[in-house]
Structure 1
């Protein structure tokens, strides 16, 4: 994703994440480093995807932008998204 994640763009993000999750993957990495704004609707989609993966033993990682980090810290949800995998480890699917 790039730009803004808000009520106007969140349906597209939700569709992409749900399509990836429907494949049965257990690991998903979301690159938000180019996101300059994210609101609560974007956070809700990330949390819903994280919960869906978590229920089946999977994990959602996020590469955050400073704005994303700020939202996660304010909402006390940063700990729910582990750090992105290192380049030397097996990479989960990526949705960007």
Structure 2
């Protein structure tokens, strides 16, 4: 993260109003010039099993009041999350280890 990142707001994807996972109080921390960390709460609202996909998008905007001034800044997409959940080389590995949860699907609320 060579630039300072500030999250002005986060919203549920309008095309996915009934997602099984809810994110709250998301904060991006700039650890150093090249690393950022995400912190916040993840709530599982119903059991999660395959097909489980993760689509994550950061957008940068010239004006937070004008969504037409926004463009994609970073995108991350992955399919078949359950089969990769326990992999130690995934972006979430340290996070799941700290949570001490079962990494076998279906995940329960």
Specify the TM-score bucket, using the shorter chain as the normaliser.
under 0.3
Q: Which protein has the bigger strand share?
A: 2
Q: Which has the higher contact order (CA 8 A, sep 6+)?
A: 1
TM-score normalised by length of structure 2: 0.26
Q: Which protein has the bigger helix share?
A: 1
* Bigger Rg, which one: 2
